[in-house]
Amino acid sequence: MKPDLVEIAAAIIGVASVWLMAKESLWAWPVGLVNVVLYTFVFQGARLYAQMGLQIVYAVLMVIGFLAWRRGESGAPLVPSFTPPARLAGFLGLGAAGTLVIVALLSRTTNGAQPWWDGGTTAFSLVAQYLQTRKRIESWILWILVDVVCVGLFASQKLGPTAALYGVFTLLAAMGLRDWLRSSKGAAA
């Protein structure tokens, strides 16, 4: 299957969005919104319905993230920080439970190509994205894990540019992790 121009445009815009996120730029959110709108159509065509639905949820989270980063917390700008361990465990539990729910829905109601991989990456992407709206450092660790799995998922569906994009996302997530760790140390000083 030949890559679609929408897929190529979405991939390029996606790289810009994640790079801006790693640099803590407020522009990451509107650029990311364009990216997720385009990917809604790409994933629909690939029959990756959980990924398609994820893009719609991302659109909402893009607005929430933009507002959270712009307003900060109690009037102070958000700074990268770690999630308290008990809360992080809760988020990871939500990701696991979400995986089971999404897989059950996909298996029963769609002709989804890869329900387990599609459902698991979708559930944990939601957790990572939410953590990112709060500038939680662990979001980057989750993104690295999700992105690595997505490379294989998208390659298996012959979405070459998207698989390559998620390879780049993996590298950008590592850069984001490094930069946010540095930023958090600077804020603590």
Residue 80 inside a domain? The answer is: no
Residue 108 inside a domain? The answer is: yes
* pLDDT for the residue 188: 62
* pLDDT for the residue 61: 92
* pLDDT for the residue 46: 83
- Amino acid at residue number 22: A
Q: How many domains does the structure of the chain reveal? A: 1
With a cut of 70, which residues of the chain have pLDDT below it? 1-3, 187-189
* pLDDT for the residue 186: 75
Residue 113 inside a domain? The answer is: yes
* pLDDT for the residue 2: 54
Residue 77 inside a domain? The answer is: no
Residue 78 inside a domain? The answer is: no
Its domain, for residue 35, covers 5-71+85-188
Task: Determine contact, residues 99/123, Cβ cutoff 8 Å.
Answer: yes
* pLDDT for the residue 1: 44
* pLDDT for the residue 160: 87
Residue 99 inside a domain? The answer is: yes
